[in-house]
Homo-oligomer: A and B are copies of this chain.
């Protein structure tokens, strides 16, 4: 990348350290995803639409999918699913939990939920992680 200003260096390093070539597109997508204070939940289509809206030269759909998959494989994004057959991604890769409120997702910090009892893993298996979904509904009156 010819233009490597300081603003981008952190994202370039992040990509490079994951074995991903820091192309123009990947750097811009990384900046969009990770240059924010709060956790970001998104689908690939949402990401594409919001980024391309502001751009004259659009990034292709395939690149959004490729990049999100690469970032996920590198451990920079977490995938999760709702009941609508669409993949959601979460920039918060630490182990944590979620409220699901009619398609809206809210993070719950890991330490907000603790267990009194948990089952053992079946023979030959071990527990990779434990994630809780708390489904919400409106509190009518």
A residues within 8 Å of B by Cβ? Answer: 79-83, 85-87, 99, 101, 106, 108, 112-119, 121-122, 124-139
Q: Could you list 27 A-B pairs, sorted by A, with CB under 8 Å?
A: A81-B82, A83-B87, A85-B87, A101-B122, A101-B125, A112-B117, A113-B117, A114-B115, A114-B116, A115-B115, A119-B134, A121-B136, A121-B139, A122-B136, A124-B138, A124-B139, A125-B136, A125-B139, A126-B137, A126-B139, A127-B135, A129-B134, A130-B132, A130-B133, A131-B135, A132-B133, A133-B133
Interface of A is mostly: strand
Whether A119 contacts B125 by the Cβ 8 Å rule is no
